[in-house]
A = this chain, B = another copy of it.
Amino acid sequence: MSRILVVDDEFRIRQIIRKYAEFEGFEVAEATDGMQAIEVCRKEDFDLIIMDVMMPELDGFSACKEIRKFKQTPIIMLSARGEEYDKIHGFELGSDDYVVKPFSPKELMMRVNAVIKRTNKSNNDLSKNDVFTYENLAVDFSARIVTINGNRVEMTPKEYELFFYMVKNKGLALTREKLISEVWGYDFFGDERTLDTHIKLLRKSLGEYSRCIVTLRGVGYRFETL
């Protein structure tokens, strides 16, 4: 279940948000100012942060800015009506939404759900991570190493390239043309069956994980975490 960090100096506000959030099934943690929020975020991971703008010690914007330096956790800012400039600032600093005080708890929870839904959707990208793992399969792109159950899997260059490309685009249907042009190069005019042959070899290398390479008849192949 998703974890939420509520940052506000007023006990009353934290209490209300906690009540509603827990009712919706979220796990709630609290912090009373920006400094605390940063500290907690360093130690733990949250799915969402709800943060007030006006706080003692360190205000919401500065905290938001700081947290963004090491975490990409979505943030919803709470600001008093009229703080127009602040709102814009908050958005630009990387918050994902904001709610004007006084807010209705229902409205807040709707936005919470919307943001969480949104981030879950686009969180599958592994562009930052240099290693991909799934169960006992590990693919280290930069080291060019594939291991299954901790054992190194030896692959030929073409196998690596083909496999890496597929893993990097996991979950996507990759057409034969796409695979050929990406792995062999756009100027490959070789045999149609060459791709199949390499898929076969790759599957052989992958052993039990060959099931992750799904044939899409008439289209191509897809790597997926079944």
Chain A interface residues (CB < 8 Å from chain B): 84, 87-88, 91, 97, 104, 106-107, 110, 114, 118, 121-122, 124-129, 142-144, 156-158, 160, 169, 171-173, 216-219, 222, 224
B171–A143 contact, CB under 8 A? yes
What's the minimum C-beta distance from A154 to chain B, rounded to whole angstroms? 10
What's the minimum C-beta distance from A162 to chain B, rounded to whole angstroms? 12
Bound form: Cα–Cα A102–B92 in Å: 23
Residue numbers in B under 8 Å from A97 (CB-CB): 114
A157–B219 contact, CB under 8 A? yes
Q: Provided the pairs A84-B106, A172-B143 are in contact, do residues A129 and B121 lie with their beta carbons within 8 angstroms?
A: yes
B121–A124 contact, CB under 8 A? no
A104–B84 contact, CB under 8 A? yes
What's the minimum C-beta distance from A218 to chain B, rounded to whole angstroms? 3
Q: Which residue of B lies closest to A114 (CB)?
A: B91
Q: Which residue of B lies closest to A170 (CB)?
A: B143
Residue numbers in B under 8 Å from A128 (CB-CB): 172
Bound form: Cα–Cα A172–B87 in Å: 35
Q: Provided the pairs A84-B107, A126-B127 are in contact, do residues A144 and B173 lie with their beta carbons within 8 angstroms?
A: yes
Q: Provided the pairs A107-B84, A222-B144 are in contact, do residues A217 and B173 lie with their beta carbons within 8 angstroms?
A: no
Q: Provided the pairs A127-B124, A127-B126, A157-B218 are in contact, do residues A142 and B173 lie with their beta carbons within 8 angstroms?
A: yes
The contact sample of 8 A-B pairs, CB cut-off 8 A, is A88-B106, A118-B118, A121-B127, A122-B125, A143-B172, A143-B173, A144-B219, A144-B222
Q: Provided the pairs A127-B125, A143-B222 are in contact, do residues A91 and B110 lie with their beta carbons within 8 angstroms?
A: yes
